[in-house]
Amino acid sequence: MKRKKNKIFKIIGLAFVIIYLINCAGFYFTQEKHFFTPNKLSKDHKFESNRNFEELNFKTKDDITLNNLLFKVDHPKGLVFYLHGSGGSLASLEKESEIYTELGYNVFMIDYRGFGKSEGNITSEDQLYADNQMLYDELKKTYAEEDIILVGYSLGAAMAAKLASTNNPKLLIMKAPFFNLNEAISERVQLLSKFFPLEMLNKYSFNNNEFIQKCKMPVLIFHGTNDKTNHHSASLRLQKLFKPKDKLILLEGEGHDNISNNTQFQKNLKILLED
């Protein structure tokens, strides 16, 4: 009888181990579906705007076409290179671009692989960085690097920070960033982080805490104090890594999704970009 019980316990234990490993493998091989939520557009989708813009396509090294929009003004002060968050597409970003064109800047916005009209699928963090660097290099053929401002929102803030850390733009602006992705996941899904080795399973790290320390240009962070997606405590921690000229501006009562419409954000951005 005792042997039979031991055998049952061993079978149950083995079943738990198998289920655990299956879940680990499931997370590892499907994590892109959790991190990226693109809005896909048909190839014949026509972007509409009452402002001057141009649709630009660039090929990656592995022959994937990335779709981009360039909003243009007369006599631009420079270029804002904008990296959006983990969801959506360029179709919903015209209003965002208007903030910067009204301040006298051209605005270049990209759709990552699998987003909007861009081809392919995201398979690694390095792939994203390589795509962004390729686009940045293309823009440097037209714009002096000291006239380029990198702006990133949420997940895009990490990609903007990485790009800034390996180049020399005029300024880096981060909106609602996390400290790094592993910690962001742990905070959002605390139970998951207790049972799964996220640092081993997660292919994506997006280490803002490392990137900003390599940035030679000024870094400016905007973060809402009521952000339920990326808590503003992440930016308070990033602030401890700042250079003397870097700055954190907390937007009282603001959440995650509406920073661009925040009057405090617009006021500070205007002062910064009209300087």
Residue with tokens 């940035």: 215
Question: Which of 33-37, 45-49, 89-93, 123-127 shows the lowest per-residue confidence on average (mean pLDDT)?
Answer: 33-37
| Beta strand 106-110 pairing with 37-38 | unpaired
Q: Kindly state whether residue 221 falls inside one of the protein's structural domains.
A: yes
Any idea what the CATH number is for the domain that residue 65 is in? 3.40.50.1820
Residue 186 lies in a domain: yes
Least confident of 30-34, 77-81, 109-113, 147-151: 30-34
pTM for the structure as a whole: 0.86
What is the residue range of 169's domain?
48-273
Q: Would you state the pLDDT for residue 188?
A: 54
pLDDT value, residue 244: 95
Give me the pLDDT at residue 20, please: 44
In this predicted structure, the answer to whether residue 148 has a pLDDT above a threshold of 80 is: yes
In a domain, 39, yes or no: no
What's the total number of domains in the chain?
1
Task: Kindly state whether residue 14 falls inside one of the protein's structural domains.
Answer: no
Model pLDDT, residue 190: 44
9 located within any domain:
no
Cα separation, 249 vs 13, whole angstroms:
51
107 within domain boundaries: yes
In a domain, 24, yes or no: no
| Inside any domain, residue 237 | yes
167-202 residue pLDDT tens: 999 999 999 999 998 887 766 554 454 555 555 556
Compute the distance between CA of residue 112 and CA of residue 135 in angstroms, rounded to an integer: 11
pLDDT-based confidence at residue 33 (cuts at 50, 70, 90): confident
